[in-house]
């Protein structure tokens, strides 16, 4: 039986596909949760979304949620923006 060899271009193209999927999956917006800015308790989204400035919540970006509280993120979205390579942060919410 003759052995079949993969051409280097096939291997390169396959690797490029994996790289593209990795870059696009990490380029999304960071998780955003509505929280009480003092206690860091998670609040319903309408507490941040009323548009009139009367809600008691503030958006908290990134981090994780445990026991109804958030930690490990920031109230400053720019501080937790995800990049392509080396992206981090936990998903979910």
| Whole-prediction pTM | 0.56
| Tens-digit pLDDT profile for residues 36-89 | 999 999 999 889 876 666 678 999 999 999 999 999 999 998 888 755 444 554
* Other Cβ atoms closer than 10 A to 88: 9
Indicate if the pLDDT at residue 93 is higher than 50.
no
Comparing 4 with 45, the larger pLDDT belongs to 45
Handedness of CA 92, 36, 67, 71 (dihedral sign): positive
Indicate if the pLDDT at residue 29 is higher than 90.
no
- What is the reported pLDDT for 39? 95
- What is the reported pLDDT for 85? 47
- What is the reported pLDDT for 18? 52
């Amino acid at each position: 039986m003759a052995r079949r060899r993969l051409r280097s271009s096939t291997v390169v193209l396959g690797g490029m596909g994996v790289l593209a999927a990795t870059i696009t999956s990490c380029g999304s917006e960071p998780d955003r949760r509505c929280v009480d800015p003092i206690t860091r308790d998670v609040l319903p989204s309408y507490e941040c979304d009323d548009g009139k400035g009367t809600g008691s919540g503030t958006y908290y970006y990134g981090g994780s949620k445990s026991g109804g509280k958030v930690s490990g993120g920031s109230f400053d979205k720019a501080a937790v923006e995800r990049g392509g390579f080396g992206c981090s942060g936990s998903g979910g919410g």
